Homo-oligomer: A and B are copies of this chain.
Amino acid sequence: MSLNAEAKASSSESRLLDAHELFCERDDRVLFSGLNFSLDAGDLMQVQGSNGSGKTTLLRILCGLNSSYEGEIRWQGEDIHDMREEFQAALHYIGHRAGVNKVLTARENLRWSVALHRQVSDTDIDDALARVGLLGYADVVCRNMSAGQQQRVSLAGLLLSPARLWVLDEPFTTLDVKGVKILENLLVQHVEGGGAVLVTTHHQLDVAWNLRRLNLDGLSR
């Protein structure tokens, strides 16, 4: 993938994300306080924790979707608030909801969501869809897709994204065994190419890569 090449090229200093003394409480329950961690190029970090430990909350905070927190988040040394657009250009987030419009076909969905980040040709899109196992589904309306198929559409978005940092909230849900394998390989490829991944999941990732773990259970309450 060309984007990996690019990635290597531009990863002069390898420190990407810095979370400094993060604190968050939601209706009177402290989820985490004094949370420090950093993400370098090539890091694949799994955020762990029991239900309600604050994984989703943390991820949304890091993306800037949730601003009810204290502490500081830096992207390549700068506070993300000072460089929102640059940061967002380097970020690809997939949340609990896949971000797939039910009325549009798989291709149309990707055409738009990718176009927000970079030019893309239909052939690229079809390749991406094929690689996530949706060959022949490019023109199926997403409402008529199964839960897992819709999830795969949003994964195809990952393939096309120029972003360097991937933040994925339980991307494995509703994926079948093959789907899981595909995604795991994807993650490894991305970090190999100098990207970084922050992922929450309850299932055991088996990837040929040294997996960093961030466990929120200790911190909560």
Contacts and interface: CB of A to CB of B under 8 A. Distances in A.
Interface of A: 26-27, 49-53, 56, 96, 133, 140, 144-149, 151-152, 170, 173-180, 202-203
Given A51-B146, A144-B26, A146-B56, A180 B152 contact: no
Q: What is the count of identical protomers in the complex?
A: 2
A145 B202 contact: no
Nearest to A172: B202
A178 B48 CA distance: 13
B149 A177 contact: no
Contacts of A202: 148, 174-177, 180
Given A51-B149, A56-B146, A56-B147, 8 more contacts: A49-B176, A51-B147, A51-B175, A52-B149, A53-B146, A147-B170, A180-B202, A203-B203
Contacts of A175: 51, 202
Contact of A144 (B27, B53, B96, B133): B27
Instruction: Give the 9 A-B residue pairs with the shortest CB-CB distance, closest first.
Output: A51-B148, A52-B146, A50-B176, A173-B173, A51-B176, A52-B149, A176-B202, A51-B149, A51-B146
A51 B170 contact: no
Given A173-B174, A176-B202, A202-B177, A152 B51 contact: yes
Contacts of A180: 202
Contacts of A144: 26-27
From A52, A133, A173, residue with most partner B Cβ within 10 Å: A52
A171 to B, nearest CB: 12
29 contacts: A26-B144, A27-B140, A49-B176, A50-B176, A50-B177, A50-B178, A51-B133, A51-B146, A51-B148, A51-B149, A51-B151, A51-B152, A51-B174, A51-B176, A51-B179, A52-B146, A52-B148, A52-B149, A53-B146, A56-B147, A96-B147, A147-B170, A170-B173, A170-B174, A173-B173, A173-B174, A176-B202, A177-B202, A180-B202
